[in-house]
Amino acid sequence: MSHSMTSLQGKVALVTGASKGIGRATALRLGESGARMIIAATSIDLLQTLRKDLEGIGVECLDQRCDVTRLSDCESLIRQSLDRFGTIDILVNNAGVGFSGKIVESDPEQAEQMVKVNILGVYHMTRTVLPSMIEKRSGDIVNIGSVAGVKYSPNFSIYSATKFAVRAFSEALRNEVQEHNIRVTLVHPGMTDTPFFDSFAQKGSPVPLDKDKILRPGDIADAIHHALTRPDGVSLNEMTVRPTWQER
């Protein structure tokens, strides 16, 4: 077994929720490491900006609007991607939404949205990409969890529940696909300075926030890059990345 670091040169990587935050940072990080990029999100303007940024550093790139809650969107994205590149080597399930509030005061529509994006969206994308990965007997699937999926987070009950579900899904997936030489990595970001976190924490963050002391999206992108470049046969199953001071 070779124990040299895996190169991403020429590999094809798909990132959902790529238009901002951790998704954007990850697309740029994998692109500068030589991967060809497929970027998907619901915001077309921001996606096009990212595509120009990627092409500006010489990355071959396909951008397509995709709402991961719609299976037909996911299927169309995978069809286009396979037509264009012939393979998808890496899937990063990064699209996610979060709303805060006590259960008794929570908005049922927001709760449903979290379940659809955070659980069904991860399932849809994984289900659609897997057959081609199984056929070629290789691939990496990276799911973005949350520290709220490791330890329940006050005021974030439904969000926590969806991220606990992603954890269970990732572990089941890992066991199902290991015989096909497919690696599964679950990354739990702690507090990270992203637009997601800004909207998420509106109703009261679990801790007093000093923006200078929380993680940057690039810190999570580096962790993902680290997992993807492990030697063949080495799988980082679960990584929790917190600011040093963060307790929960």
Catalytic site positions: 159
Question: How far is the CA of 219 from the CAs of 25, 143, 150, 243, in angstroms?
Answer: 9, 16, 19, 10
Question: How far is the CA of 188 from the CAs of 18, 107, 235, in angstroms?
Answer: 17, 25, 16
Question: How far is the CA of 39 from the CAs of 3, 140, 152, 204, in angstroms?
Answer: 30, 16, 31, 32
Alpha carbons 65 and 84: distance in angstroms, whole number? 16
Distance, CA of 171 to chain centre: 16
Q: What kind and span of H or E run contains 76?
A: helix 71-85
Give the angle 102-143-47 at the CA atoms, nearest 5°: 90
Are 51 and 63 in contact by the 8 Å Cβ rule? The answer is: yes
- Other beta carbons within 10 Å of 56: 8
Alpha carbons 103 and 121: distance in angstroms, whole number? 23
